[in-house]
Amino acid sequence: MKKEKVSLHFFRYSGKPVQAKKEIPFEIRLQARLNLDVICFEYNRAKLEEAINNALETNDIKAFEELSAQYKQYLWE
């Protein structure tokens, strides 16, 4: 039996490469969203605390009352 020769020619694709999209699992998406919520919550709370402290240092009662009303949303009891 003769050996058969196989010759293959590969041609480079000239179009744009296509990337397959893999869906992120629900648990990872949920955890990422929860982490972002915590980060935003802590950042906003720290900014409000800083503004309240500045209002107290400058004896600005009106600003203190407005900021403390906003800060009540960040307190859990």
**Distance in Å from the first CA to the final CA of the chain:** 88
Note the pLDDT tens digit of each residue in 13-70.
778 877 778 888 899 999 999 999 999 999 999 999 999 999 999 999 999 999 999 9
DSSP 8-state symbol, 53? H
pLDDT at 77: 47
Q: Is 43 helix (H, G, I), strand (E, B) or coil?
A: helix
pLDDT at 21: 80
Q: Higher confidence at residue 74 or residue 64?
A: 64
* Confidence at residue 2, expressed as pLDDT on a 0 to 100 scale: 66
Per residue, what are the HEC states of 20-35?
CCCCCCHHHHHHHHHH
Confidence at 1, pLDDT banded by 50, 70, 90:
low
59: left (phi > 0), else alpha (psi -120 to 50), else beta? Answer: left
